[in-house]
Each structure stands twice: as C-alpha cells, then as structure tokens.
Amino acid sequence: MPTRPGRSPNGCSPRSRPRRRRAATGAGGSPRRFSSYGAKGATALHGTGVTDFTWTRSCPLGGEVTRTGRGEYGRTTLRARPDSVLLHGQPSEQTVWMSHGDAVTRAPGGFRVIAETDDTPVAAIEDPQRNLYGVQYHPEVSHTPLGGVVLDAFLSAIGARRTWTAHSVIAQQVEAIRAQVGDGQLVCGLSGGVDSAVAAALGAEGVGDPLTCAFGR
C-alpha cells in the first residue's frame, strides 16, 4: 500500500515510538551497548530481522544503536554489496523504503555489513554461519523494487521449504474448524469488518448450516 514519506508502511510516524528510542540510547543520546546471547542461543537462532532489526537482531547480539538525529523515512538510496548472500547479484545501488529514527552504528560480532546509506552506516547485515540476517529497510513493500528478491534469497539461505500458499492456509483453517466443532454448533460475532467476515467465511466453509453469525456494531 502506498504511504506518504515520513510514515512507515503500517502508518506509524517516528513520533509514535519514543519509548523505543529511549530504550536504545543512554543519557544525552549517547549510544547504549548490549551484551550478546550465549553462543548456544545465538547458534540455534535462524531468522531475519526486517526494518527494526536493531532490536530483534543487532542489540541482543552485541551491536550498537545510536540516536543519530538523521532518521530516514521514505525512498532512500541503498549501496549494497552484491557479493553477499542476502543481496547476491543485486545492483550495488538501488532504491529502498526506510522508516526509522535510530540507526545501528556498529554491527554485532560475527556479522558482516552488506549495505549502507548516506545516513545509515549499517543498513543490512548477515552472518551466514549462523543463518542470521537483518535489513533496516522494508523489503515487503512495493516501494522497495527488489524486496521480493531479498526475501527469496533469505528463504534459500536458510533452506526453507516453500510450501506455503494462500490456498493451503485456507484449507488448514477449514480443517481445524471442522475438527474443533465436530457435530456441535458454531457462533460467529460478525462486525462487518474484514477479520470477522473472513472468520465467518471460513466457518461457513468448514461446518455450513451449524454456523450462526450474530451481527453487532
């Protein structure tokens, strides 16, 4: 969904996250350092962090986050290392969608910095030995043209099975509803919103007539 520069794709403005900023920095905006997980915990972790990987990956593993005063919101030029695992074969300069105030200024030990911008020295990191990857930008939005390529590279890197489809999720939920309801009755509170309408549709597919929808506002 297109969004205005200055706001993240989920509609959050930079001012809506002051608590995170305080948690990331010390008195006077000085950087706060974070201790790392034990080797066993870090080695067992396989995953990626998107946009706020400063918290989910960099901080707990020993990186450094600083309030630089140069937040990035909207389209930003990224300088990437195409010889990396996550950004392999991609152009060395590309457009990405950013939405952050703080920045990772020092990558955790064992990580390689694979991308930067003018205001973000650590815009993407990776540690292929532990299958840990992080990007500061949003690869999931259309404003990052090569975002899908990044996500595809991540799935390949961790050896993920690509069995997920929208249809398979529907089938799984319908079967789960049938198994739980059995021969009983099912009541669905229907507000008219998307979530409850989808729940009602799944319930109807799963049990049919035993479903009663109660509409309320």
Greater confidence, 157 or 11?
A: 157
Residues 65 and 106: their CA atoms lie apart, in Å, by 7
Mean pLDDT of the chain: 75
What per-residue confidence (pLDDT) applies to 104?
A: 81
Are the C-beta atoms of residues 66 and 54 closer than 8 Å to each other? no
Are the C-beta atoms of residues 25 and 64 closer than 8 Å to each other? no
Q: Is residue 1 part of a domain?
A: no
Q: Is the pLDDT of residue 10 over 60?
A: no
Mean pLDDT of 103-119: 89
What per-residue confidence (pLDDT) applies to 38?
A: 29
Q: Is residue 180 part of a domain?
A: yes
Please tell me whether residues 93 and 191 are part of one structural domain. Answer: no
Who's near 158: CB < 8 A, 6+ residues apart? 46, 47, 131
User: Which structural domain range is residue 131 located in?
Assistant: 14-158
Q: What is the CA radius of gyration of the chain?
A: 21
What per-residue confidence (pLDDT) applies to 65?
A: 78
Q: Is residue 5 part of a domain?
A: no
Are the C-beta atoms of residues 37 and 59 closer than 8 Å to each other? no
Greater confidence, 64 or 23?
A: 64
Q: Is the pLDDT of residue 24 over 60?
A: no
Residue 48: pLDDT band (50, 70, 90) is low
Greater confidence, 178 or 45?
A: 178
Please tell me whether residues 96 and 63 are part of one structural domain. Answer: yes
Q: Tell me, yes or no, if the pTM score tops 0.75.
A: no
Please tell me whether residues 121 and 141 are part of one structural domain. Answer: yes
**Cβ-based burial of 164 (10 A; exposed 0-12, middle 13-18, buried ≥19):** exposed
Structure tokens at 45: 């972790």
Q: Is the pLDDT of residue 128 over 80?
A: yes
Please tell me whether residues 192 and 152 are part of one structural domain. Answer: no
What per-residue confidence (pLDDT) applies to 4?
A: 37
Please tell me whether residues 132 and 175 are part of one structural domain. Answer: no
Q: Is the pLDDT of residue 6 over 90?
A: no
Mean pLDDT of 66-82: 87
Please tell me whether residues 90 and 108 are part of one structural domain. Answer: yes
Please tell me whether residues 129 and 37 are part of one structural domain. Answer: yes
Q: Is residue 25 part of a domain?
A: yes
pLDDT digits (tens, 9 = 90+) for 80-93: 999 999 999 999 99
The top-scoring range by mean pLDDT among 31-35, 63-67, 213-217 is 213-217
pLDDT digits (tens, 9 = 90+) for 172-211: 999 999 999 999 999 999 998 899 999 999 999 999 999 9
pLDDT digits (tens, 9 = 90+) for 195-205: 999 999 999 99
Are the C-beta atoms of residues 216 and 191 closer than 8 Å to each other? yes
